[in-house]
Amino acid sequence: MSATENHVLIRGASLLGEQRADVLVADGVVAEVGSRLDAAGARTIEADGLVLLPGLVDLHTHLREPGREDAETVRTGSRAAAVGGYTAVLAMANTSPVTDTAEAAERVHDLGRAAGLVDVQPVGAVTKGLAGAELAELGLMARSRAGVRVFSDDGRCVADARVMRRALEYVKTFGGVVSQHAQEPTLAGPSACCHEGELSGRLGLPGWPGVAEEVIVARDVMLARHTGSRVHVAHASTAGTVEVLRWAKSQGVAVTAEVTPHHLLLTTDLLGGYDPTFKVNPPLRPAEDVEALREALADGTIDAVATDHAPHARHDKEHAFVDAAFGMLGLETALQVVATVMVSSGRMGWGDLARVMSTRPAEIAGLHHTAGHGRPIAAGEPANLTLVDPAASVVVDRDDSVSLSRNNPWHGRTLAARVHATLLRGVPTVLDGTLVTTEGSHA
Ligand SMILES: NC(=O)N[C@@H](CC(=O)O)C(=O)O
Ligand SMILES: [Zn+2]
Ligand SMILES: [Zn+2]
């Protein structure tokens, strides 16, 4: 092995879209940031016109392993994440079996390390089997090798206020956070499948009102205030949720929130054709909600963008609308959607995009200090990096995906920007927009 084999020189990138610099990566860390750096023998990435960001961190990914390896595996989901510019993802607990024990969390963690493309950090279930009644082994998961810090029954709401209160008290003891799928089950029938409004009436589909989300968010911020613990709102989707968050933050409540790319761009009227590709939970909302979410993301009321990447096998999606599975792909296109909606429009800069897609998610998940994600691009920092072509414009084709599933709501749309390269601790996982396999060949 030559002395410079582990060296990568990124030449002439614009750091967070601002000053231009060369970045030398050696042995997993940023060795030097400067101009006209020379590193004979280092692999050089010409980055003229490209923007360098800290590696993206996804607070909300469904990897489906164990249980539904036909829809996605830790390995295929890791590939999709790397292609999307991610260096860390949080894998939701609604697998089969559920991630509700230390052993289950360690298994997911180890599968992620074996795939080796992104850091896969398991989310632990709040309640055993996601049943909503008995707390899962929160402390054992936290103390396990997986070091779980984020807990969620995602897919289901922790609807019982007493269970939620106890979970918040428990995670406080080790600095954890509960990520809530906010949806009051008694405010929507079991077959609810879209936003409750004028369109649901016209289509004859049973709907959820936005208030089903808002009452849980309001309740949970009060429980967070009462317990002095941290709550995180998963996939915030309504203007009312934004109002509650704004108030809670003004009161100093330890609440954070994420919004998905699809809730930042897609609206409920896409359901007019009954295409199950657009069936997702929480449902796509009207344009007024979308605008409130964009504003909240820009002003920091919403902390992060999280994909809620929810792969589904074809035979689970290709049904009549009411019977199809909920969820859509997100990892490979998230940065492009945020670039399109927030950066190309001038509402945010690349530095802001780095805040909402890397720094804040890393802080919320506790990956900032320990695992070196979401860090500044500076000498001595772990080299988890994403290089983006801001001028690219790409027509999304669902068959270009490295995910096992094809439920891609962006198919046929033109999106801005493109991930050019991703580095995990200094090792390129993506180069020239293409996955680098561990064998070193392109796949
Ligand atoms: N978002 C979805 O529509 N589906 C998710 C569950 C969830 O995030 O609630 C899934 O696991 O498929
Ligand atoms: Zn959810
Ligand atoms: Zn989810």
151 is in an annotated binding site: no
Structure tokens at 273: 């054709």
Say how far apart CA 361 and CA 58 lie, in whole Å.
Answer: 7
pLDDT bin (cut points 50, 70, 90) of residue 2 is: low
Quote the percentage of the chain above a pLDDT of 70.
98
Residues that place a CB less than 5 A from ion ligand 2? 154, 181
- Rounded distance from Cα 117 to ligand 1 centre (Å): 23
Per-residue pLDDT of 142-157, as tens digits, reads 999 999 999 999 999 9
- Rounded distance from Cα 21 to ligand 3 centre (Å): 38
Query: What pLDDT is recorded for position 440?
Result: 42
Residues with CB under 6 A from ligand 1: 62, 94, 154-155, 181, 280-281, 308, 310, 326-327
Whether pTM > 0.95 for this model: the answer is yes
| DSSP-assigned letters across all residues of 27-45 | TTEEEEEESS---TTSEEE
pLDDT of 172 strictly over 70: yes
220 is catalytic: no
pLDDT of 414 strictly over 70: yes
Query: What pLDDT is recorded for position 329?
Result: 98
Say how far apart CA 294 and CA 259 lie, in whole Å.
Answer: 9
Identify the helix (H) or strand (E) that includes residue 295.
helix 287-299
Over residues 29-35, the mean pLDDT reads 97
Structure tokens at 362: 């890393």
Say how far apart CA 358 and CA 363 lie, in whole Å.
Answer: 9
Structural domains of the chain ordered from first start: 55-365 (3.20.20.140)
Per-residue pLDDT of 340-358, as tens digits, reads 999 999 999 999 999 999 9
The answer, yes or no, to whether ipTM is higher than 0.95 is yes
Helix, strand or coil, per DSSP, at residue 114: helix
Query: What pLDDT is recorded for position 1?
Result: 47
Integer-rounded Cα radius of gyration of the chain: 21
Residues 6+ apart with CB under 8 A from 1: none
CA atoms within 13 A on the CB side of 433: 13
Say how far apart CA 286 and CA 289 lie, in whole Å.
Answer: 6
Per-residue pLDDT of 238-249, as tens digits, reads 999 999 999 999
Say how far apart CA 56 and CA 374 lie, in whole Å.
Answer: 7
